[in-house]
Structure formats: C-alpha cells, structure tokens
Structure 1
Amino acid sequence: MESSNSVEFGVEHQMVRDSARDYLAAHSDSAAVRRVTEAGPAHDHALWQAIAGELGWCGIALPEAVGGAGLGAPGLVLLQEQLGQRLACVPFWSTACVAAPWLQGSVGHSGPWLERLAAGECHAAAVLPDDGGWHYDGVRIAAQVNANGFVLHGSAAQVADAAGADWLLVPARLDDGEPALFLLEPAALAQDARFALAPLDTLDRTRPLASLRLDGLAVPASACLARGDAAVQGLAQAWWHGKLMLAAEQLGAAQQCLDLTVGYAAERIQFGRAIGSFQAVKHRCAQMMVVVEAARSAVYGAAQAWEAAVVAEARLEICAAAVAADDALRFCAQEAIQLHGGVGFTWEYDPQLYFKRAQAAGQWLGGAGVALAYIADNGPQAWRTA
C-alpha cells in the first residue's frame, strides 16, 4: 500500500527503487531474515555479497570517477527505504551511508578507498561518539604520538555492524586535543590482546552491534587518515548523512508495518466479515498511511536539500525527517501489533520484528531528542517562539 509522492526523481532513481524492491522481496523476505537471526545478531553474507559486489549498491551515491553511479543522496534514500522495509541483515547503512561520506569529508585523496567501497570489496564500520552527537566532544578514544606512529586507548559501547568489518573508522583525540581519524583493519588485529571487538546480544537482531576496547593499541602513522578540521568535518558529514539514511530506513520499516496490517485485515475473518471492512480498523489503517506519507515527504525533501549542499537548510530538513520517520515507525509498529490482535506480539508474526527495530533505531544517533534540540536551537525564529 504505497502512494506517489510530490518529490520528483529521475528515471534512474525509479529504476533503482523498483529493482531493489523486487530483489529484496525475493532474497530478504521474512523467512530469510529469521534464518539469519535465529542464532543471534548476524549478517546475511550471501545477500551482502550480491548487493555490494554484483549489484553495486554501495556505489549508488558515489561519483562516477570512483566507480559509482552518481545518483547522490536521493538514490541512496530510495535504496535505504527498501532495505528498511525488508529489515535486510546487511552492513549497508554503516558502509555506504556513514563510512563512505566520512572518508569523502575527511580525506583529501579518498579515491582509492571509495573505489573499493563502490566495488563492494569492503565492509566498513564506524565508531560514532557515544553521546549520540556529531562533535568530537563525545569522542572517548585517545591517541598518543610515539616514534612509530600512535598508541590508541579508549572504548566505544556500541559500534554498528562491526563484526566482520574489513575497515573500522575510529575518531580519536591526540595528546594536545587535536581531532584525528584512524582506519583500522580488524582482521589484522584479531590476535592482538590490546584490540577487542565483543559482539552484543541486542533487542534488534537484524543489526549486529559490538563493543570496542583499545588498550594501548599501537598503530603506524599511516593509520591516521585525517587530523584537525578535516577530521571534524568528516565526522559531521558522516553523522548527518547517516541520520538522513537512518530516517529513510525507518520510513521503509513503517511502510512494511502498514502493508502487513492491511494484508492481515483483508484476510482475518471476524463475525463473518474481514476485519478490514470495519470502519474502526479502516480509520486506524488510514492514520498509519497519513504518518507514513508525511514521513516520506520529509525524508525525500531532506535528500534533495542534502544534494543542494546548503548545509544549514539541509540539517534542519534532516532533523525534521528524523523526527517524522521515528514517529511513523513507532506508531505503525504499535498499530500493527494491535490490529493483528492476539497474535500481533507473537514470534510467528512479523510485527514484533518491526517493533524491535523501532525501539532500537529510536536510540541511534541521539534519536529524535537530538533532532528536536537542534531544531529548537537553530530553526527559524518563528519556530523557536511559537
């Protein structure tokens, strides 16, 4: 159950959306998601190899000069929406939506890294500040300079998609407080006792999290990709871009809650009639559609604003989209459970999967609270005094 939207996309964007919808419906349906997560938080490695390597989804937003498709944020938003709708168990958000823009924003000659990401050769994870913000104030990792490079100390409570990552982007502060960005290769550090990634068993098993500990880890000077303003700008770009793409993912999940509910209401018979024929059920489904469409307009508009590269406007649009998408997913997940009746919360039915995603995603990157605070501090005067 999906309507058109006033925001215009090109033919290429529509083709990306339609092909992603069909592919994920076939390869990341409910049964596939359950198979992957039965033993705990995990990735669908076969699906990741297909979408990153064969289909080239990681390069959708990247410039053609590095092997990407050049479709920018609008193209990536459409992919994220479809991935969220299917709760695809792949590290796409961390790789294409956070790590890639971080490298673009921090590293002057990021081409070699971006080429490998566009080709689907690497799965990247990023250590974001524990306070949920985009400033280095929330960075808890320190880097000491020595004769051979650097020594890293510190920890991160939760790192999305860190398990199995080829690259780990780690922000740190140097001895004098200067911000820096490091790139670590977990596979090469697996036997080093000073480096530890510990998988976490979480509520939402479709997105694995891990804790990171760096206890005097020595790294060469080449591991430091950026320092100073470049590191600061890269973190901010990664955070805001990730916030936008997280909203797109939440939008897709909310749409699936609506679709599942409408489908169930058409099949569930009560008092000799499908429950979807009752006015009270129709009204509740209609309200779900209203909040989904409002979120879709906000997310698509934010993607266009990001592409226009007007930072102040884009950030406000992203905050509005984040709040709308978070509200939509929470509301639709709750309504899906209620309108499925007595079976809505059971393991055999899918609404519980989306309810868990709603609860987890609502805490990432500071949740709606950070977005509302930013709007309150930076929105137009009329908003702040209303």
Structure 2
Amino acid sequence: MILSSAVDAEDTALLVDTIRAAVGRTDPADGRSERVYRDGPLDHDLWSVLGREIGVGALAVPEVHGGLGTSYATVAAVLETLGAELTRVPVLAGVIAATALAGCAEHPFARDLLEQIASGTRVVTTVVPGDEFDSPGEGTFQVIDGDDGVTLAGRAEFVLDAAVADTLLVHAVDRYGALGLYAIDRTHLTVEQMETTDATRGLARVHAANAPAVLLTDRPEPGRVRDQALVALACDSLGVARTCLDAAVTYAKERVQFGRAIGEFQAVKHMLAEVAVAVELADSAVAHAAWAVDAGSADDLAEAAAIAALACSDAAGLAAATNVQVYGGIGFTWEHTAHLYYRRALSSSVLWGTADEHAQRLYRLATGRTDREGDTPSPEPVREPAVALFATEP
C-alpha cells in the first residue's frame, strides 16, 4: 500500500493527482463506454491498483484498526475524484461500511473487517438503512433464533456493490423489536444483479432466507450510517457535476459555429453560468457536510447530509444534462462519455432518497416536526394550473 501515514489537507492534492494518474492508465476516458458495457460494474484492474497498491480504502478506517484515520475532507476529495472519473470500484461502499463498523469496533469480527477494508483485501457493503428504522420494531430484515445460531430473513433492492461484495452489513430487528447490526457472508445470500440506467454502478437485489449472521452490535446507529452514506454519495455527485461543467466549458471554447466559438453566444453563457452557480453551492454543501462528519453533532450531520444530498443531486443532474446539450450531436452518441455521466447523475438522484424527500426531511429538521410522533402532516400546497407554453386564443 503506497499510503503509509495519515494524509492531511496539504497532501490531499497529491493524493488526488495520484488517483487520477492511476485511472488514466487503467481506465482512460477513450473507449470507456465500450469497457463499461463489456466488463460490467467492477473494474478489477483499477480496484487492484486503488484498493491494494494505493490503499484508498484505508482513508476512512480508524488508524488503530489498520487504516489512516484521515479527516473526512480528504475522504470527500477522493470520493469526488472517483465520481469525476466514473470509476467502477467499491470505494463508496467501503467508506459507508467503515462508518457502520467504526461504531462496533470492539467486536473481533468488526475489527477484522475494518482491517481488510483498509488493505483492500475484502469488499464490504451495507444495506443503507432507510426511514423504516426511525420507528422501533420496524425493518427490512428480521432475526430468526434457531438451534444453529442467529439467522436473518428479508430482502432489499438497490444494494450498492452487493454482487461483488464478500460481506454485507444489514440492520435487522429480532422478535422483541430490538435493532442490531449484523454481518452476512455473501455466499449465504441470493444476490441478483439489477439492470439499471447507470451501468457504471453495481446495484443488486439481496434476499436472505435463514442466512447465518454475526451480531456485531445491539446498539447500532442507523441514522448516522444513513447520513454519512448520503454525504459520501453527495461527494460522488459533486465530482460528476464539476467534470461535466469543465467539459462543457472547454468544448464551448473550442467548438466554432457561424464563425464564432459557441461559448460566445449568450444562450450558452447563461446555461453554463447556471451550472457554475449550482456547482459552487454543491461544493459549499459538501465542505459543510465534511465538517459535520468530523466535528458536528448528530443534528448537525442530519441537516448537513440533507443539504448536501439535495444540492449535489441537483447540481449533477443540471450539469450532466447541460453537458449533453452543449456538445450537441456528438453528446448523444454512444461512444461519447456524456451519456455515462448523465446516467450516473440520474442514478444518484434517487439512490437513497429523491430531492423532494431530502427537502421534506430538511423541513422537518428545521421546524422540529416529526410526523412519526403524531404530528398531522401539513396539507399539500394549492398549485395553480400550468399554462401551456404555446397556448392559443380560443
């Protein structure tokens, strides 16, 4: 592993350059569309370099467990870089898993998993908990107590990198309604790779039927795991947004139409300016979220995660769509990477909640409302009927 000491803010730029160079050698932009659909959502060669040689998995793992224990600002920069390159490696899944495991590192198996994540020798993913865990006794997976030990039953969809993971982490409830964090070996699960819009990201259906499991902790923090998952995904989306903006600006300066660079036309300028504003807002949201992960309270993190998820999702969607539009005809071709970024933005925008859901959650956090505690939901706003763009007089 190249990384052998904690990376601070001054070294982040060098680390990012190292990752970009590795991606450029192993998975260059030229021909990427063909490789994505030919090789699937895991680039084994690139993962060997990033996971084992460079050791990016160690960044989010505490130093006492074989990791580097860097600040989340460095983790965010790496995730942004990997998102910008549309890398097909399980780093995002590893960061989320390290978050879940850090809260139960006293368990021997959890320590082993953290060390293997850091060394890149084991892929660990997490069924990211949703709102169902806001109410005790609810959950996707159920614990079954038997003579042969603890087993789990349940199913989940859109599980990140489940088809290539060695171990899955799931939150499950027992017959008494107690919540716990469990580890399951993938060989005990039925995993079905899903065909989704985004071919650069592996998502799968997972089904457990009396699957042997290991209880890692009976005091999990599903809310923190979910919030840090949203922050990590936001970093990925920021990378997509920034890359699409840079590509569109570069092309607008070079592409000549009617004797002028298309970037000189006011319509193109306005489109790109709108994207630039969205990217700057997303960048600020991610910086705030990184602070919340390292030093904020649980309430700070929940609010920052919702803001980052909302801002970065919007920025990535707008930037990817604008990039296709600026490139024009070539942007719609299968060989160009513009459609891959658009697909990644679409996938991220709904992976662990939509923009509307994040906005509603942010409203509840800001106002202190909790509908699950008995508050009456506010009525739907009255919407005026839309006026047709090309309405004619009767």
**What TM-score range do you get, normalising by the shorter chain?**
0.7 to 0.9
Offset, 1:310: 1.9
The worse-fitting range, judged by mean Cα deviation, of 22-31 and 339-348 is 22-31
> 1:149 aligns to what?
149
> 1:104 aligns to what?
102
Offset, 1:380: 6.1
* Aligned residues of 2:137 and 2:177 also touching (Cα < 8 A): no
The structure, 1 or 2, with the larger RCO (C-alpha pairs under 8 Å, 6+ apart) is: 1
* One-letter amino acid matched to 2:23: L
Q: Within the alignment, does 1:296 sit opposite 2:249 as a pair?
A: no
Task: Tell me which of 205, 208, 214 is aligned to 2:202.
Answer: 208
Offset, 1:209: 1.1
State the alpha-carbon separation in 1 of the partners of residues 249 and 337 from structure 2: 13
Query: RMSD across aligned C-alpha pairs, in angstroms?
Result: 2.3
State the alpha-carbon separation in 2 of the partners of residues 91 and 137 from structure 1: 31
State the alpha-carbon separation in 1 of the partners of residues 99 and 119 from structure 2: 16
Q: For structure 1, list consecutive stretches of 5 or more residues without a partner in the other structure.
A: 1-8, 190-194, 382-386
Identical aligned residues as a percent: 31
> 1:350 aligns to what?
337
* One-letter amino acid matched to 2:216: L
Q: Deviations over 1:158-211 (max 9, x none)?
A: 211011211111221111111122211224x3xxxxx31111111101011111
* Aligned residues of 1:162 and 1:168 also touching (Cα < 8 A): yes
Q: Within the alignment, does 1:325 sit opposite 2:312 as a pair?
A: yes
* Aligned residues of 1:130 and 1:138 also touching (Cα < 8 A): no
* Aligned residues of 1:132 and 1:364 also touching (Cα < 8 A): no
> 1:3 aligns to what?
none
Offset, 1:359: 1.1
State the alpha-carbon separation in 1 of the partners of residues 135 and 40 from structure 2: 29
State the alpha-carbon separation in 1 of the partners of residues 327 and 132 from structure 2: 34
> 2:239 aligns to what?
252
State the alpha-carbon separation in 2 of the partners of residues 135 and 279 from structure 1: 52
State the alpha-carbon separation in 1 of the partners of residues 89 and 138 from structure 2: 27
* One-letter amino acid matched to 2:69: G
Q: For structure 2, list consecutive stretches of 5 or more residues without a partner in the other structure.
A: 1-7, 369-394
* Aligned residues of 1:81 and 1:250 also touching (Cα < 8 A): yes
State the alpha-carbon separation in 1 of the partners of residues 311 and 361 from structure 2: 15
Does the residue aligned with 2:30 lie in a helix, a strand or coil? helix
State the alpha-carbon separation in 2 of the partners of residues 133 and 370 from structure 1: 16
Q: Within the alignment, does 1:282 sit opposite 2:269 as a pair?
A: yes
Does the residue aligned with 2:60 lie in a helix, a strand or coil? coil
> 1:364 aligns to what?
351
* One-letter amino acid matched to 1:307: D
State the alpha-carbon separation in 2 of the partners of residues 204 and 32 from structure 1: 17
State the alpha-carbon separation in 2 of the partners of residues 284 and 269 from structure 1: 17
* One-letter amino acid matched to 1:152: L
Offset, 1:328: 0.4
State the alpha-carbon separation in 2 of the partners of residues 336 and 108 from structure 1: 47
State the alpha-carbon separation in 2 of the partners of residues 134 and 49 from structure 1: 38
State the alpha-carbon separation in 2 of the partners of residues 135 and 121 from structure 1: 36
Does the residue aligned with 1:344 lie in a helix, a strand or coil? helix
Q: Within the alignment, does 1:81 sit opposite 2:80 as a pair?
A: yes
Q: Specify whether residues 69 and 264 from structure 1 end up closer, same or farther in structure 2 by C-alpha distance, changes over 3 A only.
A: same
> 1:335 aligns to what?
322
* One-letter amino acid matched to 2:263: G
Q: Specify whether residues 351 and 131 from structure 1 end up closer, same or farther in structure 2 by C-alpha distance, changes over 3 A only.
A: farther
State the alpha-carbon separation in 1 of the partners of residues 132 and 23 from structure 2: 30
* One-letter amino acid matched to 1:53: R
State the alpha-carbon separation in 1 of the partners of residues 282 and 118 from structure 2: 29
* Aligned residues of 1:132 and 1:365 also touching (Cα < 8 A): no
Offset, 1:341: 1.6
> 2:90 aligns to what?
91
* One-letter amino acid matched to 2:195: D
The worse-fitting range, judged by mean Cα deviation, of 20-29 and 315-324 is 20-29
State the alpha-carbon separation in 2 of the partners of residues 66 and 254 from structure 1: 34
Task: Tell me which of 162, 180, 193 is aligned to 1:199.
Answer: 193
Offset, 1:138: 6.0
Count of matched residue pairs: 360
